[in-house]
Amino acid sequence: MVHFSTSVASLRSSEIRDLMSLANKPNMILFSGGMPDNDLFPLQEVDAIYRRLTAREKQIALQYGPTPGLPQLLDSLSGFLRDKGLPVDTNKLLITTGSLQAINILGHAFIDPGDTILVENPCFIGAISAFRSYQANIVSIPLTPAGIDTEALGRTLDTLEAAPKFLYLTPNFHNPAGTLYHRDTKLRLIELLRDRNIPLIEDDAYSELYFHDEDREHLQTLKSMNPEGLDICYTGSFSKILGPGLRLGWMLVPDEIYRKCELIKQSIDACSPSFTQMIAHKFLESGAYLPYLNRIRAEYKRRAEAMTQLLNAQLPEGCTFTAPRGGFYIWIQLPGGADSTNILKRAIDKGVVFVSGKTFDPHGMRNDRIRLSFCNSSVEKINEGIPLVVESIREELML
């Protein structure tokens, strides 16, 4: 018998992962993956970037780089973040191997076994797994259509015996809920957390994927509001604005936190890939990201609207959702007692797959919700697949 450490002994393949292996049949319609569509990647732009690299740049790309990131990318990314109003001059930027590594490093930096941390419910599964691996005691706060339930958060903060080590949030186009926090929720959060010595981890993987210019006011990041008396660890990613295969993300954090995180990163992988950092740097520096983002925003908006219209027309009474204003996901609340794993099994039989709700419950219990991704299917596939999802829901609800 192999004796694993206590921190990994409780890690298990999820039921959902096992179910998904059934969903590998050809022609399956996939509303499950949270990844960009292969057909939308900027292939020509990346080809042109590589062809134009000098011999010296190619040597740098193939070599180890500094732990904090290639200086060229730190510079161009600082410009990109400065344009979003982020305080790059008073905080430190660390390039990471995907933003999941940034979240993992922050978990490592703050969590001792048994420490309480706060997250939203539902919550990004990657973050839940990272925090679990450090044996956190995860306390969750419900998410409302306007963002985290600040009343519930206030009550929890007042009643917890030990102060939580941090609060982890995804305020812009939440995964899985699609929620865009209302600006008032962001302001209330700042008020609630001020001077409590509870750092906030602000996960901003999706904010570039907005569908409506008029939402910009709500999209302003908490970090760029520069609140006094609150440490914000801001994380972001190239995964949704260029490609997840680059495995590049970042954290922008106060200097004291940065120094620990840099040491942690050094012990994990020494540096993120120089090769993809060079490509990402040129993508930003050349401005190629601007037309690319416009193109993908328009396409994801088209897909989101197609899915929203079908769901509005076909979902049975009692099923509710908020139309997404950006990002990749629609989150459906089923009527009381419905079990989304049963619905998923029926859907797989019909040739369509999504992710069941309990995957995103930090406590792995609540299963009366489902996540549909519209990012990875054409409008034609959405038109074909949504009636099958709805049929599966109706069968389960015996309607």
Which residues contribute to the site for ligand PLP (CB under 6 A)?
34, 98-100, 124, 126, 170, 175, 203, 205, 237, 239, 244, 249
Contact 204, 224 (CB under 8 A): no
Minimum distance of ligand PLP from residue 96's CB (angstroms):
8
Q: Which CB sits closer to ligand PLP, 110 or 328?
A: 328
Q: Which CB sits closer to ligand PLP, 315 or 370?
A: 370
Task: In whole angstroms, give the CA distance from residue 137 to residue 260.
Answer: 22
Minimum distance of ligand PLP from residue 369's CB (angstroms):
16
Minimum distance of ligand PLP from residue 125's CB (angstroms):
8
First CA to last CA across the chain, in angstroms?
50
Q: Which CB sits closer to ligand PLP, 203 or 361?
A: 203
Minimum distance of ligand PLP from residue 285's CB (angstroms):
20
Minimum distance of ligand PLP from residue 133's CB (angstroms):
15
Strand partners, 96: 249
- Amino acid at the residue 199: P
Minimum distance of ligand PLP from residue 245's CB (angstroms):
9
Q: Which CB sits closer to ligand PLP, 32 or 239?
A: 239
Task: In whole angstroms, give the CA distance from residue 308 to residue 295.
Answer: 20
- Amino acid at the residue 379: V
Q: Which two tokens stand for residue 351?
A: 């040739």
- Amino acid at the residue 145: P
Minimum distance of ligand PLP from residue 59's CB (angstroms):
27
C-alpha gyration radius of the chain: 21
Q: Which CB sits closer to ligand PLP, 35 or 187?
A: 35
Burial class (CB in 10 A: 0-12, 13-18, 19+), 59: exposed
Minimum distance of ligand PLP from residue 201's CB (angstroms):
10
Q: Which CB sits closer to ligand PLP, 87 or 244?
A: 244
Half-sphere exposure of 137 (CA within 13 A, CB side): 11
DSSP 306-334: HHHHHHHHHSPTT-B----SBSSEEEEEP
Strands 355-356 and 369-373 turn out to be antiparallel
Please report, to the nearest 10 degrees, the dihedral formed by the alpha carbons of residues 26, 330, 151, 120 taken in order: 30
Q: Which residue is nearest to ligand PLP (CB)?
A: 98
Contact 325, 210 (CB under 8 A): yes
Q: Which CB sits closer to ligand PLP, 111 or 388?
A: 111
Q: Which CB sits closer to ligand PLP, 303 or 392?
A: 303
